[in-house]
A and B are shown apart, each in its own frame.
Chain A
Amino acid sequence: MKAADYYLDGPAPETPEPRQRQDRWGETRVVGRPLPRVDAYERVSGSAVYPSDVQLPGMLHAAILRSPHPHARVKRVETSRAEAMPGVRAVITHQTPGADIAWYTDREGATVGHLFEAHCRFEGEAVAAVAAESPYQARDALEAIEVEYEVLPFTSDYETALEPRAPAVRDGGNRASEPGVYERGDLAAGFNAAEVVVEETFRTPCELHTPLEPHGCVARWDGNRLTVWESTQGVYPVQSRVAQVLGLPLANVRVIGHYVGGGFGSKLRPGKYTVIAALLARQTGRPVRLFLSREETLLCAGNRPANRMRLKVGAKRDGTLTAIEFHGLGSGGAYSGSGTGILDWQVRDLYRCDNVRCTTENVYIHAGAQRPMRAPGHPQCSWALEQVMDELADRLELDPVELRLRNLASVSQGRGGIPYTSNGFRECLEEGARTFGWLAARSRARSEDDLARGVGMAGGLWIAGAGGPPSTAIVKYFADGSVNLNLGASDIGTGTKTVMAMVVAEELGVPLDRIQIEHADTATTQFATASGGSKTVPTDAPAVRAAALDCHNQLLDMAAEELAVAPSELKLDGDHVVAVGDPEKRVALREVSDFRRRQVVVGIGYRGPNPEGKATCPFAAQFCEVEVNRRTGEVRVLRFLGAHDSGRVMNRATYDNQVYGGIVMGIGLGLTERRVLDTGQTGKMCNLSWHDYKIPTALDVPADVTSLPIETEDVECNTVGAKGLGEPVTIPTAAAIANAVYNATGIRVWEAPLNATRLAELLAEREA
């Protein structure tokens, strides 16, 4: 699977060739500096209008009635009592004309689920929806809808979903697809050649995205034109899906998403809520606001699937890997999500090994659908692979960093051996270890009182992070030297707008406060793919750079006539154009007659193609120190260091924030988070709140976190030299913690999350 396939939904337009050759940046003036965000004031002051803040005159409020059972058939829906309630303006179900919409399809394109489903296959499946004058009236009306369910047997444990007695989620049984098989070399020969073999089974929990702003939108019709303000990572994917489902021309669907309060992958596409809001708005002739409750966001707005992974690794005495065998199992829920998507990628690609076999099994269960969550598959795989590497180092009496250094891959083996455009994994490991003080911390004697200290590390890479076409950006340079930057990309909190403005400032010498940004609006800004896959900067920054250069070149062309000097002999110097060899020859831009006549120069930039036959990946190594209470198994993370090769650092401040944020999320996987289903009884979700689904608090995150950029010079990946960052930063975190806990206690915890609820028993067993 190519990473692009994973994220793109629907056809993408062809991308024209870039307009001109773009030289590699030498010393930069703006790019790379730790500059504050261009929208910091709006975000901090509350004046930024998030989609959930949108209030329109006459706006109604909608809510969705959901199946309380993981598996049930709707025998009867009675809405008349709800319809008669005060303030209720519309009630729709699968029986409502126009609302019988196909939603889920199988691989052959056949419909397997509808917008409102009479056969509910997960708790939270939409059954009906209401629009009312107030959110309270809408929720009250939901309770007045009478639904008669035939409750059916369910399967909620993915590990037993393939057993014959497990109730089937779909007609064809619970195998969601043929097992994925990847193979290279001769596995048996590899294990025969091994002098040490480590084999273990690992489990990671189902994690939830839990963005601060719930999923949802406001929808308004103007005749046959639909406008949607959606909390989304990509306005264009929302536009294409909504247009397709409602049978509208793309031009008639305008999606606006200027701000989004977090998505982490769960907002790459529209939800049923988007279409339901549009239907209710059309039926009532009023704008409709439909945002999920917090509980709904936890129940049915996506997840990182739980995984069971069996990993067997063989190595020579000197640490050289001879064979890796991986088996992964997972479930994407009841429909089309994958439980094992790109789960095995790091096994295929991270360490040099000639003999590799990976199998993955993707099964159905009666639970909400998976959606990509920050580096899908990778933190889970890292939990297994990096713990096995640590164990291997232990058995071989090698330093864990050294073992990894002995197994560096020079090419992308998972892609058939093509080279990387850049690979800073060695530097991540070496410089990370040096800056962390790895060897000294490692050799410190374990304390013998109740609190044991240990250090651990893990490496990683992210399959994607190259970005690629298409992306289009437009830069308008006005007569007074102010600039308007227009691009379709969403800023999902990562600082996209700031980074793009810095690219313009770099090329045109315009101060950041003279740059206005229009973005994430399908009616007024250019096509962009969703912000996901760590690809927004490597995708869109080159397009922005090309647009700025286009402006720049047009300005020089105009001044060349004015000064009678060849454009190649000119350069932009603030609001003047100067001849390179003769500083006397200069003209203020506002005096350039052609420019004065036009008043504005419009530059268009396209993202060019990625280099052929090469792979672009970000690399990572993280190091941490923990303190473990030997009696209770309480784990405290004392410090962390993230060494990341994501190519050029575009803005040191937003860069560091990504590193910190990724580590915080990884601490959640390692120590606190897990979705709990009432397996075996009701199949319902138990921890349906932010109290019971435990994301880390400020007290669970160390104050001492170091971001160490490994700024490899990547002259091939794209014209700005940056690779993705948002996802690699969370890949090795949990495994590094597990390895540190082992270093402190001598106990390996194969199942995440790792905290006192597991470690207390393991410590006691060892005592006894």
Chain B
Amino acid sequence: MLPNFAYVRARTVEEALEHLGGEDTRVHAGGTDLLGCLRDRVFAADKVVSLRDVEGLTGIRRAADGGLVLGGLTTLAEVSRSSEVRGLYPGLAQAASAVASPQLRNQGTLAGNLCQRPRCWYFRGEFHCAKKGGAQCYAVGGQNRYHAVLGGGPCYIVHPSDTAPMLLALDAAVRIVGRAGERAIKLAEFFVLPEVELARENVLAPGEIVTEILLPPAPGLYSSYRKVRERGAWDFALASVALALRSIGGRVTQASVVLGGVAPAPWRAEAVERAIVGTTVDEKTARDAAAAAVEGAEPLEWNAYKLPLIRGIVEESLRRFHDYQPS
């Protein structure tokens, strides 16, 4: 059962901001994650401020620099269908279409997908875990099949988003609006690890909302997203990898490789990037780079399978890039 709360449908961003900022005030965009969190009592809500009637928060348009601007309330279905996204950033279209199910993609929004709360069953369930102010992270000694192998501690959630690793690989930024004003920050600065912020997964202050996602221009860009899950739909990533590469004559000049589903935030695999820049990503390079992807990983009791999984999808994705290149 949902708790009782006041519901406000704001007409403008300013009106929404006026209502936001209270400790238990929640933003409603697509609601696909919010309603679940409220029903499961993950957090309280005394007021829910809906952005669905706010104009100007949806849609995809070209930026002056040739990049794209995606409204925060653009649905995942729209992102995955957009011919501009598919043409310029095919990896983002792949990531958006890998989310959940058609119903949820029709309802869920891109900004909401970035800001969704983790799926850890100790966080979602009746467990007073560290992230909720309790004394311990139950995942450490518990059922941790779906938990972090990289960047964990003191909490071992994985960031659940499919679009976040891809957007980070694409060097996207987000426009954040709050009562104090507005700012645009790179996604690299948006997500935070639990060792920095235990209770939150990003730098949004109370009352702030993500209004836009800004993608830099894409000339010469190769992008892809590969996700592994236990079932074909309505399942978060056991592991995923987002690639954004630039190359000249088959030789990689710039690489961004980001892992999803394996760390509390989208996880930049810099060792992989170093291993492939300057190469043509031949078979051996791909294999060695894939092995580097799990450097420093510290699996828990039940999630060591994620290491070969990461290696597998990184190698597969790099070989796809190699095969794709026009000779």
User: Hey, which bits of chain A sit against chain B, CB under 8 A?
Assistant: 68, 135-136, 139-140, 450, 629, 631-634, 671-672, 676-682, 684, 686-689, 691-692, 694, 696-700, 755-758, 760-761, 763-764
The minimal Cβ–Cβ distance linking B137 to chain A, given in whole angstroms, is 11
The reply to whether B304 and A761 contact each other, CB–CB distance below 8 Å, is yes
Choice from B127, B235, B315 contacting A694 with Cβ under 8 Å: B235
Segment at the interface with A among B177-185, B246-254, B305-313: B305-313
Residues of B within 8 A of A758 (CB): 305
Residues of A within 8 A of B127 (CB): 678, 682, 684
Interface centre among B119, B142, B228, B305 (most CB of A within 10 A): B305
The reply to whether B234 and A692 contact each other, CB–CB distance below 8 Å, is no
Choice from A678, A692, A757 contacting B238 with Cβ under 8 Å: A757
- Shortest Cβ distance from A135 into B: residue: B1
A450 and B287 alpha carbons, distance in the complex (Å): 14
Choice from A68, A632, A699, A764 contacting B313 with Cβ under 8 Å: A632
State whether A686 and B121 are in contact (beta carbons under 8 Å apart), knowing that A678-B143, A756-B305 are contacts in the complex. yes
The reply to whether A756 and B309 contact each other, CB–CB distance below 8 Å, is yes
A680 and B315 alpha carbons, distance in the complex (Å): 37
The reply to whether B230 and A694 contact each other, CB–CB distance below 8 Å, is yes
Residues of A within 8 A of B238 (CB): 756-757
Choice from A450, A686, A696 contacting B143 with Cβ under 8 Å: A686
A509 and B287 alpha carbons, distance in the complex (Å): 71
Is B222 at the interface (CB under 8 A from chain A)?
no
- Shortest Cβ distance from A295 into B: residue: B40
The reply to whether B233 and A699 contact each other, CB–CB distance below 8 Å, is yes
The reply to whether A694 and B231 contact each other, CB–CB distance below 8 Å, is yes
Pairs across A and B, CB under 8 Å, 29 listed: A140-B1, A629-B312, A631-B316, A632-B312, A632-B316, A633-B309, A633-B312, A676-B143, A678-B138, A678-B143, A679-B143, A681-B138, A684-B125, A684-B127, A692-B119, A694-B235, A696-B231, A697-B101, A697-B232, A697-B234, A698-B233, A700-B232, A757-B145, A757-B230, A757-B238, A760-B308, A760-B312, A764-B307, A764-B308
A699 and B235 alpha carbons, distance in the complex (Å): 11
Residues of A within 8 A of B228 (CB): 632, 634, 756
A450 and B232 alpha carbons, distance in the complex (Å): 19
Summarize A's interface: helix, strand, loop or mixed. Answer: loop
Residues of B within 8 A of A756 (CB): 228, 230, 238, 305, 309
A757 and B301 alpha carbons, distance in the complex (Å): 13
The minimal Cβ–Cβ distance linking A70 to chain B, given in whole angstroms, is 12
Residues of B within 8 A of A688 (CB): 121, 125
A237 and B121 alpha carbons, distance in the complex (Å): 37
- Which positions 101-156 of chain B face chain A at CB distance < 8 Å? 101, 119, 121-122, 124-127, 138, 141-143, 145
The reply to whether B1 and A136 contact each other, CB–CB distance below 8 Å, is yes
A450 and B323 alpha carbons, distance in the complex (Å): 14
The reply to whether A697 and B233 contact each other, CB–CB distance below 8 Å, is yes
The reply to whether A672 and B125 contact each other, CB–CB distance below 8 Å, is no
A687 and B122 alpha carbons, distance in the complex (Å): 9
A671 and B232 alpha carbons, distance in the complex (Å): 11
The reply to whether B141 and A681 contact each other, CB–CB distance below 8 Å, is yes
Interface residues on chain B, size class: 20 to 34
A631 and B315 alpha carbons, distance in the complex (Å): 9
Interface centre among A676, A697, A756 (most CB of B within 10 A): A756
The minimal Cβ–Cβ distance linking A121 to chain B, given in whole angstroms, is 18
A760 and B313 alpha carbons, distance in the complex (Å): 11
The reply to whether A686 and B230 contact each other, CB–CB distance below 8 Å, is no
Residues of B within 8 A of A140 (CB): 1
Residues of A within 8 A of B138 (CB): 678, 681-682
- Shortest Cβ distance from A630 into B: residue: B312
The minimal Cβ–Cβ distance linking A611 to chain B, given in whole angstroms, is 45
The minimal Cβ–Cβ distance linking B240 to chain A, given in whole angstroms, is 11
Residues of A within 8 A of B230 (CB): 671-672, 694, 755-757
Residues of A within 8 A of B234 (CB): 691, 697
A53 and B30 alpha carbons, distance in the complex (Å): 29
Residues of B within 8 A of A696 (CB): 231-232
Residues of B within 8 A of A687 (CB): 121
The minimal Cβ–Cβ distance linking B77 to chain A, given in whole angstroms, is 17
Interface centre among A678, A684, A686, A755 (most CB of B within 10 A): A686
- Which positions 276-327 of chain B face chain A at CB distance < 8 Å? 304-309, 311-313, 315-316
The minimal Cβ–Cβ distance linking A704 to chain B, given in whole angstroms, is 15
A672 and B231 alpha carbons, distance in the complex (Å): 7
A632 and B228 alpha carbons, distance in the complex (Å): 8
The minimal Cβ–Cβ distance linking A252 to chain B, given in whole angstroms, is 34
The reply to whether B231 and A68 contact each other, CB–CB distance below 8 Å, is no
State whether A678 and B231 are in contact (beta carbons under 8 Å apart), knowing that A632-B313, A686-B125, A760-B305 are contacts in the complex. no
Choice from B124, B126, B311 contacting A68 with Cβ under 8 Å: B126
A684 and B119 alpha carbons, distance in the complex (Å): 17
A692 and B40 alpha carbons, distance in the complex (Å): 13
The reply to whether A139 and B1 contact each other, CB–CB distance below 8 Å, is yes
The minimal Cβ–Cβ distance linking A768 to chain B, given in whole angstroms, is 9
Residues of B within 8 A of A760 (CB): 305-306, 308-309, 312
The minimal Cβ–Cβ distance linking B131 to chain A, given in whole angstroms, is 15
The reply to whether A697 and B312 contact each other, CB–CB distance below 8 Å, is no
- Shortest Cβ distance from A632 into B: residue: B312
The reply to whether B313 and A631 contact each other, CB–CB distance below 8 Å, is yes
A679 and B143 alpha carbons, distance in the complex (Å): 8
The minimal Cβ–Cβ distance linking A243 to chain B, given in whole angstroms, is 33
Interface centre among B40, B143, B228, B308 (most CB of A within 10 A): B308
- Shortest Cβ distance from A764 into B: residue: B308
Residues of A within 8 A of B231 (CB): 671-672, 694, 696-697, 699-700
Across chains A and B, which 4 residue pairs bring their CB atoms closest together, nearest first? Answer: A699-B232, A631-B312, A764-B308, A632-B312
A757 and B308 alpha carbons, distance in the complex (Å): 10
Residues of A within 8 A of B306 (CB): 760
A687 and B1 alpha carbons, distance in the complex (Å): 18
Residues of B within 8 A of A677 (CB): 143
Given contacts A631-B316, A686-B125, 10 further A-B contacts (CB under 8 A): A136-B1, A450-B316, A631-B313, A682-B138, A697-B232, A697-B233, A699-B231, A756-B309, A757-B230, A764-B307
Residues of B within 8 A of A692 (CB): 119, 121
Residues of B within 8 A of A679 (CB): 143
- Which positions 59-113 of chain B face chain A at CB distance < 8 Å? 101
A140 and B234 alpha carbons, distance in the complex (Å): 30
A681 and B140 alpha carbons, distance in the complex (Å): 11
Residues of A within 8 A of B124 (CB): 689
The minimal Cβ–Cβ distance linking B36 to chain A, given in whole angstroms, is 8
The reply to whether B142 and A680 contact each other, CB–CB distance below 8 Å, is yes
Choice from B122, B235, B311, B315 contacting A686 with Cβ under 8 Å: B122
A764 and B315 alpha carbons, distance in the complex (Å): 13
A686 and B238 alpha carbons, distance in the complex (Å): 17
- Shortest Cβ distance from A755 into B: residue: B230
A109 and B142 alpha carbons, distance in the complex (Å): 38
A764 and B40 alpha carbons, distance in the complex (Å): 38
The minimal Cβ–Cβ distance linking A163 to chain B, given in whole angstroms, is 19
The minimal Cβ–Cβ distance linking A665 to chain B, given in whole angstroms, is 14
A672 and B232 alpha carbons, distance in the complex (Å): 10
The minimal Cβ–Cβ distance linking A636 to chain B, given in whole angstroms, is 8
- Shortest Cβ distance from B233 into A: residue: A697
Residues of B within 8 A of A700 (CB): 231-232
- Which positions 224-261 of chain B face chain A at CB distance < 8 Å? 228, 230-235, 238
Residues of A within 8 A of B125 (CB): 684, 686, 688
Residues of A within 8 A of B126 (CB): 68, 684
A322 and B249 alpha carbons, distance in the complex (Å): 66
The reply to whether A680 and B141 contact each other, CB–CB distance below 8 Å, is yes
The reply to whether B232 and A761 contact each other, CB–CB distance below 8 Å, is no
Residues of A within 8 A of B232 (CB): 696-700
Residues of A within 8 A of B316 (CB): 450, 631-632
Residues of A within 8 A of B40 (CB): 689
- Shortest Cβ distance from B319 into A: residue: A450
The minimal Cβ–Cβ distance linking B135 to chain A, given in whole angstroms, is 12
Residues of A within 8 A of B312 (CB): 629, 631-633, 760
A672 and B316 alpha carbons, distance in the complex (Å): 24
- Shortest Cβ distance from A667 into B: residue: B231
